Structure 1
Amino acid sequence: MNTLALKGKVWKFGDHVSVYYFFPAIYEMLGIAGKPEELAKHFLEDVDPHLIQQVEHGDVLVAGKGFGQGKHHYDYINAFQKLGFAAFLAESFHPQFQRECIDRGMPAIAYPEIPSKVNSGDLLELDLRTGRGRILNRAVPIRVEPAPQVFLAILAAGGLKPYTLQKLATGSRN
């Protein structure tokens, strides 16, 4: 699936959610945090031990303000990707978390209006390039500002490293 065109089930969460909410910190002490495929097996296990069987490839995590607080590790972002999440959409992000996601090729785009429009379980379709989409199960159109061009370019390349290598290969500074 193209990371710039999203289509998946919404998993909605509130404000100021730390990555430790999804993956308890105990797994860092046990050495699992360095293994995203193992860490993914423990997604919200304290909330519902069977939840990982419900996440599907392409699903979208939607949150309120300040999403991604706490200690940041690429392994947590990789674990979300291993689970099948295609993107994070939130009212706002912890800046470091947002940057790490974009660097890894994982869309993390702030759309202040989306959390109030969607519910957990909705089927969301959204083109990050145009800002147009729909909540398919309710036939509700969505229109937001397109994602910033620099984010789109990095995401289209697959992350910051491939983006940088492309720019170096072409001699481009834009």
Structure 2
Amino acid sequence: MKLLGKVWKFGDGLRALDIVPPDYDELGMGYEWNACAEHLFEKIEPRFKTEMARGDIVIAGEGLGAGHAHYYMAAIMASKVGGISAMLCETVNTLFQRAAIDQGFAVWPMGGIQAFVSQGDVLEIDLATGNAHNRTTGEAAAFVPVSPLILNILEADGSLNWAMQRVSATPQTA
């Protein structure tokens, strides 16, 4: 799974409530993901709504996805339908990560990613190999790749689709 997009860089402690503010909890509870996407990062990065392009990549520091699980789905689904291709970080709240992967949205820790990119850089990264190229600086780096199982779930657009594909697959014989 290869990504190419402009970097939106955030620091440590990026919470689900920073991604979609709690003011829009009713939209999230109503599964109105497109409406939630209209409010991505609006309280911490007001330019995001007007300058973000489909395929852009969010880079966070330590503790991405902190906070109460009640707010995870709005943050994850708004990011996904809003066109963010992935959230890469130094460390992640594992419940947030699992919820994202279950929905087919890439959230993955890659130690050192914060130092590798700056706000606005264009990042090309192959999640399967961990190979990254900062097209703005010309630098290359290798990160721990996403596991093949997780890549399969992401490529299936979520764990439910992945599981349905597996159970409906024709058994292979030797």
Please, what TM-score do these two structures have when normalized by structure 2? 0.89
* Residues 3-152 of structure 1 aligned to structure 2 (within 5 Å): 4-28=1-25, 31-33=26-28, 34=30, 35-72=32-69, 73-152=72-151
Distance 1:166-1:48 versus aligned 2 partners, 3 A rule: closer
In the alignment of these two chains, the number of paired residues is: 167
Preserved contact between residue 9 and residue 124 of structure 1 (Cα < 8 Å): yes
Runs of 4+ in structure 1 deviating by more than 3 angstroms, as ranges, are 47-50
Q: Unpaired segments of 5 or more residues in structure 1?
A: none
Q: What amino acid sits opposite 2:52 in the alignment?
A: V
Distance 1:48-1:89 versus aligned 2 partners, 3 A rule: closer
How high is the sequence identity, in percent, across the aligned residues?
31
Matched residue SS, 2:136:
helix
Please, what TM-score do these two structures have when normalized by structure 1? 0.89
Q: What amino acid sits opposite 2:18 in the alignment?
A: Y
Q: Unpaired segments of 5 or more residues in structure 2?
A: none
Q: Give the CA RMSD over aligned residues.
A: 1.6
Deviation at 1:105, TM superposition (A): 0.8
* Residues 150-169 of structure 1 aligned to structure 2 (within 5 Å): 150-169=149-168
